[in-house]
Chains A and B, each alone.
Chain A
Amino acid sequence: EVQLLDSGGGLVQPGGSLRLSCAASGFTFSNHAMNWVRQAPGRGLEWVSAIGGSGATTYYIDSVKGRFTISRDNSKNTLYLQMNSLRADDTAVYYCATSYSISYVFDIWGQGTMVTVSS
């Protein structure tokens, strides 16, 4: 079964750091670009970052550039999001997502992991 499992969320103080993980199974991980999408409480979806299959290419939304780093370990079938200098407006459920069978479109999603930035 094709599956993504998000983890690593939690409560962190403003200015703190957190690393999210997304474990993939059921498909050839290195063949697929991966994404992080977040959703603040009661709000809409916001694409955050993407990484190509080899890890050589990355993209970020402006509001996280310089603070978040996306990476992947294809030997472990795992995607990461290192989040530094966290702010209250980073509070959200973070989902990993990929385009498994449809080019560019997110047809496989993780279950989400909650990140709360608060003192």
Chain B
Amino acid sequence: DIHLTQSPSFLSASVGDRVTITCRASQGISDYLAWYQQKPGKAPKVLIFDASTLQSGVPSRFSGSGSGTEFTLTIRSLQPEDFATYYCQQVNSYPRTFGQGTKVEIK
């Protein structure tokens, strides 16, 4: 099974900050990685797929990069609605594992 490790698990940031979340895979997954945002009590929403492709309707302040085993999600200028938990997921093979999540809270 492919294990995904996100860092940090928690971060405190202010509106306007640039935020970077890292996801490391235990083995190479090419660009078969997606990023999701989840708010309390809601289903996750896909932000990025194929490691760097922005999903339709997602603000351009979100971006993704990486390939192989190391990936990043960047939020260029954090907005109030961005405070949420973010997950990476590999879709290279089964089981379709998720990272443990990164909770972004208001400083």
Contact = CB atoms under 8 A, between A and B. Distances in A.
Interface of A: 35, 44-47, 50, 59-62, 95, 97, 102, 104-107, 109-112
B101 to A, nearest CB: 4
A47 B55 contact: no
Q: Which 9 A-B residue pairings sit nearest by Cβ, starting from the closest?
A: A109-B43, A104-B91, A47-B96, A44-B101, A105-B49, A59-B94, A45-B98, A105-B34, A61-B95
Interface residues on B, range: 20 to 34
Contacts of B89: 45, 47, 105-106
Q: Is the contact region of chain B dominated by helix, strand, or loop, or is it mixed?
A: loop
B83 interface: no
Interface string B7-38: 00000000000000000000000001010101
B74 interface: no
Contacts of B46: 102, 105-107
Contact of A44 (B49, B55, B87, B91): B87
Contact of A45 (B45, B91, B101): B101
Contacts of A47: 89, 95-98
A95 B49 contact: no
A47 B97 CA distance: 6
Contacts of B67: none
A77 to B, nearest CB: 19
